[in-house]
Structure 1
Amino acid sequence: MVCRKCGHDLPEDSLFCNVCGSSQTDIRNQNDNSNSAKSSEPASGDISGETRNTEVISQEQTRKNKPVKLLLPLLFVALAAFAIWAYTSIGGPADEFIKAVDASNVVLAKEIFETKIKSEKDASRLVSEIIERSTSAYTQFASGGTSFDDAKAKIKIMADSVSKEVAEKSALPITLSNLEIMKKSKESFASGEKFMANTDYASSIREFEKVSKDDSNYSQAQANIKKLEAEEAKRLEEFRKSEEIKKNQQVEVIKTEVLVQDETLKALYPDLFSVTIRNNSGKTIKNYKVSMLAWDSNGYPLKIEVLFYSAAYEYLGVADNVNVLHGETHGVDSGWELMEGHRIVKTKAVVSEAEFYDGSTWKNPYHEYFINNYMGKPYMD
């Protein structure tokens, strides 16, 4: 220890300083009291350790409970909003109406509209639902997801169940009209495919051009148009060349028809497939062959049934020892005998080849074009 007065080092437990003689009793008591206080009191001073721990725990609980108290009002607001939405949306009369429509129950849907749709709010909600459902029905048909009849039935039920005013607000007449337009669009696409399969490119293009942009077939229709335009251009060029060849035929067909010899006695006087030719060769024709095609009243191809021959789409008729001079015609009021019930209404023919008295033979280059463009296909002029 040190003297509190002069600072000289002293032995422990000294009562007086051996240098200045000052008493050391007071300072020792103070030190003892100080040590006692340090060992028995918390570092905070006057507050006991137990009290401090209680306050810390209390503060922790306060911090945890405070957000819960703040969230409770927000939770009540959310629950109230959900309850309002549930009443006006899920369980409201508009929802009941739509359920009746989905069940195809027009009587119930009409009853709900007339008895439960009272407020402006309910009416507005119903209009929104109808617009959504009718638009969905139209879109599904346009995309190929449902049939025309099903889509129309869904829209028609709603139109029949509500007042004219609500139907017009919901655009139901317009939607039904658009549905009919879409039906025609899909019919045009199907018709275009049929014409394309029959190589009637011009008709096919006209049908594909009618396909609506909302139609799921629109992209394919546009692709077909581009393809067919190229094919049609090629076909027209071939036709132009064929017409030049046709004009320069050495032997040409000037008339074809079905000659009726008798209206009732077909077994004795059968109908004739008549072909009239003209000789433009400058030579005398000895023999010639005729390529013949036939169609029914609707313009669809028929197999030709000639007596004693098998039926075929192309019949090659032979005319022997005809002796047709240059510039003369042959075949008027004559022809090849047809089987009874042949159903032929429309005819076409071309001379495929001819043999002349000078020993030469002519094969018609137009015959190939004739077969490629007419045989087995719908009638074209």
Structure 2
Amino acid sequence: MLCKKCGHENGDSSQFCNSCGTKLNKSERHCIQNLKDKIKGFDKRKKYIILASSIVVIIIIIGIILFTNPTFRFEMAIKTNSIGKATTVFNESIKGNKKYEDSANTFLKGEISNVEKEFKNESIAYDKAKNKLDNIKGLGVASLEVNDAIKEIDNLNDSRTAFNKAEDYLKEEDYVNAIKQYSNVIKEDKNYDNAQKEIENNKEKYKEKVLADAEENANNNEYDKAVSLLSETDAIIKNDNDITTKLDLYKQKLNEIREKEKQQKIKQAQSEQLLIVDSCAVSVQDTQWKALYPDMLQAFVTNKSDKTVKNMNVGFLAYDSNGYPLKIKTQFSYSGGNFEFTGNADNINLVSGAQFGAGVGWKLDEKHGISTIKACVKDATFYDGTTWNNPYYQYWIEQYKEKQLK
């Protein structure tokens, strides 16, 4: 406090001036003290106002930075499942910028992993998980990871569904379908151990029913059904002698039936050919001057249709003197030849009932080495514009191509 008389600065608690001894005014001293307190209070509030203002400014600046950052906007759109907005941000502001693309890719991989974990932990339903992953897949980013994740949750969902179905079948004592469904439970499923336990507990009842059903199918000559049923069982109950014995027996029976049916089809296709190869051989034009008069592949073909043949293709197979297959190399061919050669005959005007082949053929390389040939018409075009593909040709190729003649 200042002394009014001498101007000396005294302490706030002083009653008399320490310099001249003049009594100091108490009310004046109290007023000054109040003023100082108000100043101090104002300074403190000012500090708070400045601090609060600074925080607001910082928040605004951070907000501006974040919302002008395309990767932040992209991430926010993905988290809120706004896939259209995410696509727009990516295409307009991220695509083409490696830094932003890498950031978006890393973020998406994390999101994909989280969705997969949530589904495995059963904290998210399958439909919701699938929807999220499908949306991410639509962006065309992190394609490998999202495809793998979709496959994983699909497999796990199928496994959980199979387990629930198996439980229902078991309650109905339908052991065949129960075991089938239990066998579809995968190791990644928490129900896997229970599924394996149920398979073991009900194996004998399952096996008994399967063997009975398979025998009934066999008695009805439905060997394909018997084989299918026993093959499924063999994959579930491995190395069971009763199952494998019956399976081998029914497979043999089925193969016999199929072979018989096949031979009937071959015989029918052969008899229904419109163009028949009556005979074929390697025609020797000259024994000495092979370059000028090369040997030829020759086939005599009769037209059994009621139409005139304009063009046709004839397939040839060749063999050496021991009946082993040879590659056919034609004249002026620079390749090693092929086991199946197709000879094209154009504008042959082969009328109904007539035969083609006299004096014509397909020229061979000088060193062809061919002793025997086989031939079959592959297809033909008639003058009326229709075509014919020989149904027997594929059976013929299957029977003779690259196989030894017997």
Q: TM-score, normalised by structure 1?
A: 0.39
Higher RCO (C-alpha under 8 Å, 6+ residues apart): 1
Q: Which structure has the greater CA radius of gyration?
A: 1
